[in-house]
C-alpha cells in the first residue's frame, strides 16, 4: 500500500511542479521556444531546478542504495546508443511541442479541466503513439544500433 501511495504522490508533486513552474501554460512554452522573436527564458529555470535536484539525488543518494525502497531493482533504459530513430523521433516530438505548446506531462496534468484543446491533444497523442508503433515496423533494422 505504501508504495502505491508513494507513486501517486510522485505524480501529484510532479504536476504541482509543472504548474508552479509555468509548464502548464502553452503560451509560456511557445515564448520559451521563440528564441528568434520575443524570447522568454523563464522555463529554462524549470530545467535547471529539476536537473539540479534530480542529478544530486541520482548521483549522491542512489549509488548508496542496493535497490529501490519498494522494488527489487532499479530499471534504467537499456538502449544506450545514439541512432537514427532517436533523432527523428526527437525532431518530430519537437515539431509537435512547438506547434501546440504542449508536451505530455502538462497536457495530462491539465486533463481534468476537460478543455477541448487538451482532450484533442491527448487523444491525438495516444493515436500518434499507436501510429508510431506501426511506423516503427517499417524502419529498417539496420537503422537501429541498440538491438
Partner 1 sequence: MAEFEIIKPLIGGMLIGLSSAILMLGRGRIAGVSGIFEGILRPRADEVLWRVLFILGLCFGGLVMSFIYPERFNLETNRSIEMIALAGLLVGIGVHIGCGCTSGHGVCGISRISSRSLVAVPTFMFVGALVVWAVENFAGAQ
Least CB distance to partner 1 at residue 136 (A)? 6
Q: Euclidean distance between the first and final Cα of the chain, in Å? A: 37
- Does residue 137 belong to the site contacting partner 1 (CB under 8 A)? no
* Per-residue interface string for the shown chain with partner 1, residues 33-72, x marking contact by CB under 8 A: xxxxxx-xxxxxxxxxxxxxxxx-xxx-xx--x-xxxxxx
Among positions 90-109, residues that touch partner 1 (CB under 8 A) are 90-105, 107-109
Three-state SS string across 67-92, please?
A: CCCCCCCCCCCCCCCCCHHHHHHHHH
- Does residue 89 belong to the site contacting partner 1 (CB under 8 A)? yes
Report how far residue 49's alpha carbon sits from residue 47's, in angstroms, rounded to the nearest whole number.
6
Least CB distance to partner 1 at residue 114 (A)? 10
- Beta-carbon contacts of 97 under 8 Å, excluding residues fewer than 6 positions away, are 29, 33, 103
Least CB distance to partner 1 at residue 76 (A)? 7
Amino acid at each position: 500500500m505504501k508504495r502505491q501511495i508513494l507513486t501517486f504522490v510522485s505524480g501529484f508533486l510532479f504536476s504541482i511542479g509543472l504548474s508552479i513552474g509555468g509548464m502548464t501554460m502553452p503560451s509560456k512554452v511557445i515564448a520559451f521556444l521563440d528564441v528568434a522573436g520575443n524570447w522568454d527564458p523563464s522555463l529554462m529555470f524549470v530545467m535547471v531546478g529539476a536537473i539540479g535536484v534530480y542529478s544530486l539525488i541520482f548521483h549522491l543518494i542512489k549509488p548508496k542504495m542496493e535497490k529501490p525502497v519498494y522494488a527489487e531493482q532499479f530499471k534504467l533504459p537499456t538502449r544506450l546508443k545514439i541512432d537514427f530513430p532517436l533523432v527523428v523521433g526527437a525532431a518530430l516530438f519537437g515539431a509537435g511541442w512547438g506547434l501546440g505548446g504542449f508536451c505530455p506531462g502538462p497536457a495530462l496534468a491539465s486533463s481534468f479541466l476537460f478543455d477541448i484543446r487538451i482532450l484533442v491533444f491527448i487523444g491525438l497523442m495516444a493515436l500518434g503513439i499507436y501510429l508510431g508503433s506501426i511506423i516503427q515496423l517499417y524502419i529498417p533494422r539496420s537503422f537501429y544500433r541498440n538491438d
